[in-house]
Homo-oligomer: A and B are copies of this chain.
Amino acid sequence: MTDLHEMSLAAREAFYTLSVSSDEARNQALLMMADSLSSRADAIFEQNALDLRDAEAASLAAPLLSRLKFDQVKLDQVIQGLKSLCALPDPLGKTTLSTELMPGLNLYRVVCPIGVVGVIFESRPDALVQIASLCIKSGNAVLLKGGSEALRTNRILAECIQDALRRAGFPCTAVQLLTSREEVSAMLKEDELIDLIIPRGSNAFVRYIMDNSRIPVLGHADGLCHVYIHQDADPDMAVRVVVDSKTQNVSVCNAMETLLIHEGIASLLLPRLKEKLEAAGVRLLGDEKVQALISCEPASEADWSTEYLDYILSIRVVSSLEEAIAHINRYGSHHTDCIVTEDEAAAASFLNHVDSAGVYWNVSTRFADGFVYGFGAEVGIATGKIHARGPMGLEGLTTYKYKLIGSGQTMSDVKRGLLHYTHRPLNASDPTSGERKQEA
């Protein structure tokens, strides 16, 4: 096993270099990554073929195999992603608050990178490039652990990225690959050197990480999304949104798991929904009121808390908007929840009362995604309330520092009444951030 403490120390040093680099220098590194990946395409495909061969031999399920595959199509997407990322504005250096505390004493709040981030991701090797490039663009160093079935592919991708970093004049330790579970356990102990862990994986896995580290964790533990059809919903729109939210891709976190429907429209809509959903292969589970209107299996109490990630949908009839909101706040996972209604007041009430990262009105839950939101890409979707919430792009990978620039002021003089606070907004930029451009 590699020494995780040494790796973390090296990542920290790399972060110090990145944190004061110019956007141009970081973009240059991204372009070199694209270049490096292109020029070693054949070697990458070769390593991926070996991973795929082993995965097939181990009888991995077809969807997992397709996620594991890294071919010319994936490479083109990854390179396009790197170029799009270059085009995004510099996420660092912006002054988000400036105040004159007293004459000659000015406070500036300036956006800066978080530091060292640990990301544990699933089988898709293209995620490695995406995450590494988001971290570099935002000035962070990253320790990455991918799925073991993609080990050979991840290794060569990480090599390409490290080559590119070196050529761009950055420490290659800004992006480092972990290859074993033991290394992940060791990483969780480095709370003095690592600032944030982003686990992408199962609910149980995210909880395991939270239970075993002092390092702050941002991840979504579950994606238990709801669609609620209000009594005045446009029936065609309701069917469209429900079918898309459930079936467009059942295995993702923003797919619907529970449908709530107002009793005033249930008898009209449930038969149509049953027809469409069953035609798409969805198994329906309903409460007693649902079962009185259509034939389906009974839903148990546990179903309201179950993220199926499958062609299964639990359905409940509610007698009011308030009951729908209460159900979602009680059983939901605070990910993404939608109301279908023509009533603006009902929509506003739903959007304001439902305590979720995404609250939708008349649109499929499948739109909960960093690329869709215009963030370029995402490192994950956060369902907690702290730091980033919802799809987490470049902004989620930044923090800020307070720069206070004075002329020898002391607290003793304040207490003696010799100095007085003015707290005057300045609308000025940090005068010391220009230095960034001269470095790196």
Contacts and interface: CB of A to CB of B under 8 A. Distances in A.
Interface of A: 16, 19-20, 99, 101, 105, 107, 114-115, 195-196, 207, 210-211, 214, 216-218, 234, 236-237, 240-241, 243-244, 248-249, 329, 344-345, 347-349, 351-353, 355-364, 366-368, 372-374, 384-387, 389-391, 399-412, 415, 421, 423, 432-436
A248 B410 contact: yes
A95 to B, nearest CB: 12
B374 A401 contact: no
Contact of A408 (B234, B356, B386): B234
A3 B407 CA distance: 54
A195 B360 CA distance: 22
A149 to B, nearest CB: 27
B363 A105 contact: yes
A269 to B, nearest CB: 14
A4 to B, nearest CB: 18
A387 B387 contact: yes
A107 B373 contact: yes
A248 B411 contact: yes
B114 A385 contact: yes
Nearest to A407: B362
Given A357-B402, A411-B248, A101 B373 contact: yes
A401 B389 contact: yes
B389 A435 contact: no
Nearest to A349: B435
Nearest to A434: B348
Nearest to A12: B329
Contacts of A433: 348, 352
A366 to B, nearest CB: 4
Given A214-B210, A352-B433, A385-B195, A403 B361 contact: yes
Contacts of A357: 401-402
Contacts of A362: 405-409
15 contacts: A19-B352, A207-B214, A244-B410, A344-B432, A351-B432, A358-B402, A359-B401, A360-B406, A361-B403, A361-B432, A362-B406, A362-B408, A363-B405, A363-B407, A364-B411
A16 B405 contact: no
Given A351-B432, A385-B195, A387-B386, A412 B363 contact: no
A167 to B, nearest CB: 24
Q: Which 7 A-B pairs rank lowest in CB-CB distance, beginning with the nearest?
A: A363-B406, A244-B410, A366-B411, A348-B435, A237-B408, A348-B432, A374-B423
Nearest to A422: B374
Contacts of A244: 410-412
A249 B414 CA distance: 13
A205 to B, nearest CB: 13
B216 A214 contact: no
Contacts of A355: 16, 19, 115
A217 to B, nearest CB: 8
